[in-house]
Structure formats: structure tokens, C-alpha cells
């Protein structure tokens, strides 16, 4: 961790908080098979702590493969089949302290690294109290047999498979009935819940099974995957919830208290698939990517790419008319949801921001714009005359222009299903295309989608956990509404236009004259922020010590150092004059922040890079602004806002 991060948090060598961090116990990874062996690095300590790796081919009709540390890396089960446990040495070859290793899996039986399939996703669950555990046991045929577990909290869902016989996967879920005996489900089928009498008690320290052959036949061998429900835990420590909701003829909002990154949903009262949705492959406000646990269907092969579930800052929306996720008012749907990785502040700016030129060797195995993290929002621009596009994970396959009032348009090649960047599949072989990339993180940056209701004072929840100091809002489906910008220095009584050079202007219908809080921001009834017929996207930015700085300064007519609290200067700088007209200027360290001319571009025009002025100079603490007529970013007595990233 950088010195400025330690100082900013008032600590000496300790990261910010030892609170629960979902990124330590769960990860979604997408990868391309190579048929020769590869290492999956996801930050999950399987070697030391243990856990489960659940793998599914995205573009092949093969079953999910489940491997865990209690049975060993050579043992496999298929979630969509009642088949007995199988053994292989060509699948997962090792559990590591930061992921796992894959062998040369050239068989069609296990399919975790088979190049004939190509694209895979894996979900890794680490064993941890109050989150997940897995265990094995041998049945004794005695009804009421107690089996201890290590969750130390309420069980939310339990999945049991007999490994030595062709028995179905048994699922007990807290949302399906008292003691779950009234509605036990089968993971390998689409059947609705039935009363099979397989569980008769579940506690924070054990579960009690009957003598049913699926869970406790004498001499049978079993594996149990036990998922917690954190409803009784402190809100800031919650990582997983299991619950239920009743379907409707309209959209259903499921309140979790936080935004999910992974959701498993089953219609418990009708025949339907087990839907698996995650934000890495795409769970946007629009058509996304679905897989099922109960069969071998490829991605979108069973449930299609329909708009099934929309994540929101405090839960998710189950879209109407979907059998698996929101059938009708007589349907009960159960879910298991895992929290988005916004529980801990980042420790370095390179973990959450990157700027790079295009990777011209782009193919399906590598993103066009590379980073070291999953990208949540990005700007993209050619160095020549061209509009700056803004794209994001929450509305992937769509784009908008920062310099116009245009509505979002289809951009099918804008995909975020990478752990290390994003792609737009631009044509040509040159590198004149640049992208600036952000990862959402606590205290740093967030993205929110919402629907307008035209009610003044409407609050929109966010996950930033601090008060945002700058917010960009755009109506997604209207071509006549400007980008509106809130900035703390101008206050909630004023606004700015990202697509224009206007000075700050007073308009109480934008933010309802109400400053944002650490959990929500407020909008009025203006069409650009809250029309009842429109949907919106908001990007929220904040100061995080040593990583980002949202601030303001007054010009002095010559030059001055803007102190951002950094130690090695700024990699990204955005400046806008607010007391008079002035463009939104952007500089970055890839194109050059040097003691000389510094290329820049302008968010509110489609002009190409300007390369012949020296408006900015480097400074370890932040950056230096010079007064030159080309940009006028340091006019005497002028007021300016800025956003910088270390």
C-alpha cells in the first residue's frame, strides 16, 4: 500500500479495515481454453482455506463440473446430471493460494480446459465462516442424523450429492418452506419443489437429515455444499443472502441492502431452469448472458439473452414475464445472491484505473484494451476527429457520446466479459485508439442505473459508501437531454453540462437543491435527471486518499501546483472552468504529462488531440497548471473544478 493511503486512513501499515471482504472468498473468472494447461489466478486461497470451483463451458453443450478441496482436485461431479463422481487427472491439477491450475483437458468428459469448447466461466467459493463451507460424510441410514458444519451462522441453502450412486442433487433452501422439508428441490432437474422429507432440522452448527437415500443411505458417500444467509449479520459485513420472492405481472424489486455480483434463481413452484447470472459475463440493464445449472445448455441456450435480472445498489430487479426469474403472482422464486466487490477500498490507483492504447493483436483470447482488473466504465476515443464514447458494464453493448445529447445506441461489440479489460472490436491495425478505464470501488467510483419517476426529491441509492463529489447523469433513451454534472464545489443548487462548455448554472430541478449522501443522491423532476418515461445512468466519483482527488482551485494567471495528496504525480487529469465558459479538458500520462507540450482532448467536442500547448506540467503531489490561451485553465480569479487519478 502506498504511504499516502496509510496516512490518509490514519493508520501505520494496516489496510483500511479488517471487515469482511467478499473479494477474498468469491470470484467469477472467464477464460479461454488452451488444451495444454494454464493457471487461473483469482485471489482465492484454495490451498490454505479450501473451497469449491464450479466450472461451466459458455459456448459448448456440456454439463457444469464441480470440484472441491474436500474430495480432491481429481474428483468431479456434474450439476446437471445424477451421475456418480468421476475421476480425472487432466482437469484441475492443483489448488493454489491464489486460485488453481488446469491441465491439458482434451477429453469431452470433464470440460474445464478443452479448446474444442473454447470459452469457460468458473465461480470459486472459498470456505469461510458466515459464507460457505463444504464437507463429506458417510451415511448411516438413521433418520435424524446430525451433521456438523462450520458456517457459524444461519444456513441459507444446502446442496447435497451422493457421490457413489446415481442419485439426484438435493437442494434445501430457506425460502422454500419450514425446515425445507415441504419444498426440497433437485439441482439437476427443472422440477418444482416437492415434499421429500430429507431435512428435519438446520441450525448454525449442524444440519439434520432423514434416512432418505439421496442424503443418508447406510454406507453411501456424500458431499455437501453449505451456503450461509447473512440476514442476521451486520449490514456492512453481509456477503451472501438466500431468500425468496413472489412473482408478479410487473417487475419485482428484491431488496438485499447491497448490490449483487452473482445470483442463482429457481422458480420453486413451477418447472423451470436454475438460472445462473453474474456481472462479469453480463447482468446489465438490458439483455445479458445466462447459464443454467440443471443441464448442459451453452450460454443463452436455455434462457436466452433476455433481460432477466437488473442489479441495483440495494438489490436486484426481476424483470416481468420470465418463467425462471419472475413468472407471475402465483409463483415463488428462491435465490442465492453474492455481494458485489465494493466492501473494501482499493489500495493502489493501478488496481482501479488504467489508460492504454489499443491492442492491435486483439482476438477472442485477449481484450482490445488491457487492464489489470475487470473494467466497469470506459471512455474510448480516436486521436483524430472523433466523438468520445462512454461505455459501461451496467449497460454493456450500448454506448453514448460525451459531447452530444444523443441517446444510447447499440454497440454490440462493446463487451466487458474479461477479467483484464474490455473490447470494442474496432477495425484497422493502428494504435490511434485510446481507452481510459475505471473499476468500481468503495470510496472511489460507482455506476448506477435507475428509472425516472418525475417526483422531486426522489433518492437514488449508490454503493460508494462515501459522499460523491462529482456525478455525471445521462438519460439513456432520450436524444434531447444533456449530460448533467453535479460537483461539490458548485453545490446542489447548480449544474454543469458535460456535453457543453457552459458555466455552472442554477437549476433546482436537477438535484432538488439537496446534496448527496454516502448512500444516495437526490434528483428533482427535470427531464435530464428524472423523467417518468426515461431510464438513466449515473457515474459517481469521490476523493480517495492517495488514489483520486475531486477538487477545485482559483486561477492566479501564471502557474500553480494543485496538491492532490499524491506521491508520484497524476496519470489522469480532468479540468473545467465553472465561473465562465470553458471546455472539459483531459490529459493523461500515456499521451504525456511532461515538462513540455502535453496532448489533450476535450470531452464536449469531437475534436482530435491538441498537441502544441503546455497547459500542464508534472508534480509529485498532483499536477501544475499553466496559464496559456489555448486552454485558459489558470485565468486570474477564474474558478475551476478538477478530477485527478494517481
Tell me the pLDDT band of 389, cut-offs 50, 70 and 90: very high
- What values do phi and psi take at 92, rounded to 5? -75, 120
Tell me, yes or no, whether 617 and 583 share the same domain: yes
Residue 6 has pLDDT above 90, yes or no: no
Residue pointed to by grid coordinates 422439508: 181
Do 180 and 86 reside in the same domain of the chain? no
Residue 89 has pLDDT above 90, yes or no: no
- Going by DSSP bridges, is the β-strand pair 92-96/185-186 parallel, antiparallel, or unpaired? unpaired
pLDDT score recorded for residue 347: 96
What per-residue confidence (pLDDT) applies to 90? 84
The number of beta carbons lying within 10 Å of the beta carbon of residue 247 is 23
For the cut 90, the answer to whether the pLDDT of residue 460 exceeds it is yes
Number of structural domains, the chain? 6
What pLDDT, in 10s, does the model give residues 231-245?
999 999 999 999 999
Phi, psi of 3 (to 5 degrees): -60, -40
Is the model's pLDDT at 2 over the cut of 80?
Answer: no
**Residues 324, 353 within the same domain:** no
CA atoms within 13 A on the CB side of 105: 28
State the pLDDT at residue 492.
Answer: 98
Contacts of 11 (CB under 8 A, 6+ apart): none
In-domain check, residue 5:
no
CA–CA dist 220, 212 (Å, integer)? 11
Q: Residue 195: its pLDDT value, please?
A: 75
Cα–Cα distance for residue pair 165/499, rounded to 1 Å? 64
Whether residues 332 and 427 share a domain: the answer is: no
> Is the per-residue pLDDT at 623 higher than 60?
yes
Domain end position, chosen among 438, 467, 488: 438
86 shares a domain with 29: yes
Question: Is pLDDT at 1 greater than 50 in this prediction?
Answer: no
Q: How confident is the model at residue 223 (pLDDT cuts 50, 70, 90)?
A: very high
CA 536/CA 488 separation, integer angstroms:
21
**Where a domain ends, among 77, 103, 125?**
125
206 has a pLDDT exceeding 60? yes
User: Residue range 201-209: average pLDDT?
Assistant: 90
Query: Higher confidence at residue 173 or residue 196?
Result: 173
The residue with cell 407471475 is 328
On whether both 501 and 558 belong to a single domain, the answer is: no
304 assigned to some structural domain: yes
Task: Please give the average per-residue pLDDT across 242-266, as a whole number.
Answer: 97
CA distances (Å), 586 to each of 566, 601, 615, 643, in order?
18, 5, 11, 9
Predicted confidence (pLDDT) at residue 377 exceeds the cutoff of 50: yes
Mean of pLDDT values over 22-37: 94
What pLDDT shows up at residue 12? 32
- Work out the mean pLDDT of the chain and round it to a whole number: 93
Q: Contact 458/441 with Cβ under 8 angstroms?
A: no
Does pLDDT of 288 surpass 80?
yes
Residue 371 vs residue 429, higher pLDDT: 371
Classify burial at 234, counting beta carbons within 10 Å of its beta carbon; exposed 0-12, middle 13-18, buried 19 or more. Answer: exposed
Nearest CA to 168 among 146, 148, 191?
191
pLDDT (tens digit per residue) in 142-181: 999 999 999 999 999 999 999 999 999 999 998 766 545 5
For 565-577, write each residue's pLDDT tens digit: 999 999 999 999 9
pLDDT over 50 (residue 10) = no
Position 73 pLDDT exceeds 80 = yes
Residue 146 forms part of a structural domain: yes
Output the pLDDT for position 456.
Answer: 97
Question: Is there a contact between 450 and 536 (Cβ–Cβ < 8 Å)?
Answer: yes
Query: What predicted TM-score, i.e. pTM, was given to this entire model?
Result: 0.95
Of 438, 453, 480, which residue constitutes the final position of a domain?
438
User: Based on the domain organization, do 244 and 259 belong to the same domain?
Assistant: yes
Kindly state the greatest CA–CA separation across the chain.
86
Pair (334, 239) in one structural domain: yes
Binned at pLDDT 50, 70 and 90, residue 360 comes out as confident
**What is the side-by-side order of every strand in the sheet holding 65-68?**
26-32, 119-126, 51-57, 65-68, 72-78, 86-87
The mean pLDDT of 589-617, rounded to a whole number, is: 96
Instruction: Indicate if 515 and 572 belong to the same structural domain.
Output: no
**Stretch 38-67: mean pLDDT:** 96
Assigned domain for 11 exists: no
The whole-number pLDDT of residue 18 equals 55
H or E stretch at 162: strand 155-162
In a domain, 344, yes or no: no
Yes or no: say if 92 and 53 are a contact pair by the CB < 8 Å rule. Answer: yes
Task: Note the pLDDT of residue 108.
Answer: 60
DSSP string covering 86-109: EE-SSSEEEEETTEEEE-----SS
Check residue 20 and give its pLDDT.
84
What pLDDT was estimated at residue 365? 64
Q: Determine the pLDDT at residue 359.
A: 84
Question: Of residues 197 and 225, which shows the higher confidence score?
Answer: 225
| pLDDT of 499 above 90 | yes
> For the chain, what is the radius of gyration of the CA atoms?
26
The whole domain housing 472 covers 445-541
pLDDT recorded at residue 17: 42
First to last CA, the chain: 13
Domain for residue 311, yes or no?
Answer: yes
What is the pLDDT confidence band of residue 182, given thresholds at 50, 70 and 90? low
Q: Print the SS3 string covering 448-495.
A: EEEECCCCCCEEEECCCCCCCCEEEEEECCCCCCCCEEEECCCCCCEE
623/261 Cα distance (integer angstroms): 36
Candidate from 40-49, 310-319, 420-429, 489-498 with smallest mean pLDDT: 420-429
Answer yes or no: is 15 within a domain: no
Identify whether 16 is part of a domain. Answer: no
Amino acid at each position: 500500500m502506498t504511504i499516502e493511503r496509510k496516512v490518509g486512513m490514519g493508520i501505520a501499515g494496516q489496510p483500511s479495515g479488517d471487515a469482511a471482504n467478499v473479494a477474498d472468498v468469491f470470484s467469477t473468472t472467464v477464460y479461454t481454453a488452451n488444451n495444454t494447461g494454464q493457471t487461473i489466478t483469482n485471489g482465492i486461497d484454495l490451498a490454505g482455506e479450501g473451497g469449491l470451483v464450479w466450472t461451466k463451458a459458455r459456448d459448448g453443450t456440456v454439463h457444469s463440473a464441480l470440484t472441491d478441496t474436500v474430495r480432491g482436485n481429481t474428483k468431479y461431479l456434474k450439476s446437471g446430471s445424477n451421475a456418480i463422481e468421476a475421476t480425472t487427472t487432466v482437469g484441475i491439477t492443483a489448488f493454489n493460494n491464489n486460485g488453481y491450475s488446469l491441465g491439458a483437458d482434451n477429453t469431452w468428459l470433464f470440460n474445464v480446459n478443452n479448446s474444442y469448447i473454447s470459452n469457460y466461466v468458473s465461480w470459486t467459493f472459498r470456505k469461510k465462516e458466515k459464507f460457505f463451507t463444504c464437507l463429506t460424510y458417510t451415511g448411516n441410514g438413521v433418520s435424524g442424523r446430525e451433521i456438523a458444519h462450520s458456517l457459524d451462522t444461519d444456513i441459507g441453502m444446502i446442496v447435497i450429492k451422493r457421490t457413489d450412486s446415481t442419485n439426484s442433487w438435493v437442494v434445501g433452501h430457506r425460502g422454500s418452506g419450514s425446515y425445507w422439508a415441504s419444498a426440497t428441490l433437485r439441482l439437476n432437474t427443472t422440477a418444482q419443489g416437492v415434499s421429500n422429507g430429507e431435512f428435519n432440522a438446520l441450525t448454525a452448527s449442524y444440519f439434520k437429515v432423514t434416512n432418505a437415500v439421496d442424503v443418508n443411505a447406510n454406507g453411501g458417500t456424500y458431499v455437501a455444499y453449505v451456503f450461509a444467509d447473512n440476514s442476521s449479520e451486520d449490514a456492512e459485513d453481509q456477503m451472501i443472502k438466500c431468500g425468496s420472492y413472489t412473482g408478479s405481472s410487473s417487475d419485482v424489486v428484491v431488496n438485499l441492502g447491497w448490490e449483487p455480483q452473482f445470483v442463482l434463481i429457481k422458480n420453486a413452484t413451477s418447472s423451470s431452469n436454475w438460472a445462473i447470472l453474474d456481472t462479469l459475463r453480463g447482468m446489465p440493464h438490458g439483455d445479458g448472458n445466462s447459464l443454467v445449472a440443471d443441464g448442459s445448455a451453452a450460454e443463452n441456450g436455455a434462457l436466452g439473452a433476455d433481460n432477466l435480472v437488473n442489479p441495483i445498489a440495494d438489490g436486484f430487479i426481476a424483470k416481468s414475464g420470465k418463467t425462471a426469474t419472475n413468472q407471475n403472482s402465483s409463483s415463488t422464486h428462491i435465490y442465492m445472491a453474492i455481494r458485489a466487490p465494493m466492501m473494501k477500498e482499493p489500495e493502489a490507483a493501478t488496481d482501479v484505473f488504467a489508460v492504454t492504447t489499443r491492442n492491435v493483436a486483439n482476438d477472442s483470447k485477449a481484450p482490445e484494451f488491457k487492464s489489470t482488473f475487470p473494467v466497469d466504465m470506459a471512455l474510448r476515443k480516436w486521436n483524430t476527429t472523433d466523438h468520445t464514447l462512454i461505455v459501461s458494464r451496467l449497460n454493456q453493448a450500448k454506448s453514448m457520446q460525451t459531447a452530444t445529447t444523443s441517446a444510447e445506441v447499440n454497440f454490440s461489440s462493446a463487451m466487458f466479459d474479461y477479467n483484464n479489460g474490455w473490447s470494442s472490436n474496432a477495425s484497422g491495425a493502428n494504435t490511434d485508439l485510446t481507452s481510459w478505464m475505471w473499476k468500481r470501488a468503495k470510496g472511489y467510483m460507482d455506476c448506477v442505473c435507475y428509472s425516472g419517476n418525475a417526483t422531486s426529491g426522489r433518492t437514488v441509492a449508490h454503493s460508494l459508501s462515501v459522499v460523491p463529489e462529482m456525478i455525471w447523469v445521462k438519460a439513456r433513451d432520450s436524444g434531447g437531454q444533456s449530460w448533467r454534472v453535479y460537483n461539490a464545489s458548485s453545490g446542489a443548487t447548480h449544474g454543469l453540462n458535460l456535453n457543453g462548455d457552459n458555466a455552472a448554472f442554477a437549476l433546482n430541478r436537477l438535484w432538488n437543491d439537496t446534496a448527496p449522501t454516502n448512500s444516495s443522491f437526490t434528483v428533482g423532476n427535470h427531464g435530464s435527471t428524472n423523467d417518468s418515461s426515461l431510464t438513466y445512468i449515473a457515474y459517481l466519483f469521490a476523493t480517495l486518499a492517495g488514489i483520486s482527488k475531486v477538487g477545485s482551485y482559483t486561477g492566479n494567471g501564471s502557474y500553480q501546483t494543485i496538491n492532490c495528496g499524491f506521491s508520484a504525480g497524476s496519470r489522469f487529469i480532468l479540468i473545467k472552468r465553472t465561473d465562465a465558459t470553458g471546455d472539459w479538458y483531459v490529459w493523461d500520462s500515456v499521451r504525456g504529462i511532461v515538462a513540455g507540450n502535453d496532448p489533450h482532448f476535450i470531452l464536449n467536442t469531437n475534436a482530435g488531440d491538441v498537441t502544441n500547448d503546455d497547459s500542464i506540467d508534472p508534480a509529485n503531489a498532483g499536477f501544475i497548471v499553466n496559464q496559456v490561451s489555448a486552454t485558459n485553465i489558470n485565468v486570474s480569479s477564474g474558478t475551476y473544478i478538477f478530477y485527478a487519478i494517481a
